[in-house]
Amino acid sequence: MKTAAVVLALIAGSFTQAAAQQLPPVGGPYPPPFTETLSNNVPLAFGMDADDAARALGVPLNYVRGRPGDEIFLAFRNVGGSGLFYKKDRLYLQFRKGRLAGWKGDWGHNWMWQ
């Protein structure tokens, strides 16, 4: 009885049309590029100053080291977590001549669990 139901469901499913994604119309609206659909976009751009970077990230920047204009800052980004344990990722920002030259995320081990 079960096999007959499965066979009937497969036969009925074969009669429906496939709903494949169609190409966009010529000259019409195009879907956004893949990189714009990612959920982990960082709102940073090369050439920002420290104030713009802090505003874009929504967190204050903490000085790590370096001479004025050529500093390394650290931003603690709250990326959620459970209600009991919040997860904060570290983001290091390298500035050269007062402008953002690069950044690197640090997802190292939490020192509390060692």
Tens-digit pLDDT string for the chain (114 aa): 778 877 777 776 666 665 666 666 676 676 777 666 665 556 788 999 999 999 888 889 999 999 998 999 998 876 666 556 666 678 899 999 999 999 888 766 655 555
Structural domain including 94 reads 41-106
Q: Is residue 60 part of a domain?
A: yes
Q: Is residue 51 part of a domain?
A: yes
Q: Is residue 97 part of a domain?
A: yes
CA–CA gap between residue 30 and residue 107 (Å, rounded): 35
Q: Is residue 50 part of a domain?
A: yes
Q: Is residue 19 part of a domain?
A: no
Q: Is residue 66 part of a domain?
A: yes
Q: Is residue 86 part of a domain?
A: yes
- Number of structural domains, the chain? 1
Strands 99-106 and 86-96 come out as antiparallel
Q: Is residue 26 part of a domain?
A: no
> Which positions ≥6 away from 20 have C-beta within 8 Å?
none
